[in-house]
Amino acid sequence: LLFNNKTIKEEEYNNIRQEFLDSIHDRRTIYIYDLHRYHNINADKIFKIEQETPLSPKHHHLSTFDILIIAMAIELELIHHPISVQILSRDARLVEIARKVGVKVSFFY
């Protein structure tokens, strides 16, 4: 099996998989927020900024999923304030636009 560009044994894969399942079971470590209308409303705040921000030669316009990730961060910040919400991403365009709309974001190398 291939994981993070390296081959791992099936037993290691099964251990990683089980650790992930344990993390999401009963919302122990990871809690899934379902998409709802507020994310769509927040996305409206992102569209104009995304379209008006010039692309560099290496960048592409954000996908619908990228925009919804930023929109969800906006919503989570509103729900959980004063606890800070931050996006961690390797997508330079997502990082750029998230910062422009006021979302805390770090570029992951």
> 82 falls in which pLDDT band (50, 70, 90)?
confident
pLDDT digits (tens, 9 = 90+) for 22-38: 877 766 666 666 777 77
pLDDT digits (tens, 9 = 90+) for 12-68: 889 888 888 887 776 666 666 677 777 788 898 899 999 999 998 888 999 999 999
The pLDDT assigned to 31 comes to: 62
Exposure string of 73-95, with b = 16+ CB inside 10 Å and e = fewer, is: bbbbbeeeeeeebebebebebbb
Give the Cα separation of 47 and 50 in Å (integer): 5
The pLDDT assigned to 70 comes to: 95
